[in-house]
Amino acid sequence: MKLRLFQTTTVLALAGLLILTASNIGAAESLAGSKGDIRFYPKLLGDPKRPCTKAYKAYVAASGHSAYATTPYSRVRSLYIICGSRLNAPSQKAAEEAALKSCKATRSYYKVTTGGGCEIVASK
C-alpha cells in the first residue's frame, strides 16, 4: 500500500513540475518581427535596395538580440545616411556596442566629417 501511495505521489509531483516548466517555455519567445526599443525612427530613403534599408529590415527580422545604429539625417546638412547593425548578439548591450562600432567604422572608412555621429536607433 505504501509503495503504491509513494508511486502516485511521485507521479503527481513530476506532473506538476512538467506543467510549471512548460508554462515558462513561452517566456523565451523569438524577437523576430519586433522593432524593440525605438529611440527615434530611422530615415529610410524608400528604396528597398539601399544598404541601410536592407540592414533595418534585417534588424526587424532578426530573432535574437540585435541593434541598428545610424547617423542622424538632416535635409540641410546630410545628403546620405551611414548605418551599422548587429544581429543575434548574446545580449542587447553587446548588440548596441557592436552596431555603434560598425557604424563608426563605416563612417571612418568613407572619411565622413559631416552629418553627426552614430546613434542607436533601436535595439531588442
pLDDT at 24: 42
Query: In b/e form, how buried is each residue of 31-64, taking b as 16+ CB within 10 angstroms?
Result: beebebeeeeebbbeeeeeeebbebbeebbebeb
pLDDT beneath 70: ranges in the chain: 1-29, 74-78, 114-115
pLDDT at 34: 85
In the chain, domain spans: 37-123
Query: Cα separation of 116 and 73, whole Å?
Result: 8
Distance from chain centroid for Cα 40: 15
Kindly report the backbone phi and psi dihedral angles of residue 68, in degrees, each rounded to the nearest multiple of 5, phi listed first.
Answer: -130, 125
- Record the pTM: 0.72
Q: Which three cell numbers stand for residue 22?
A: 512548460
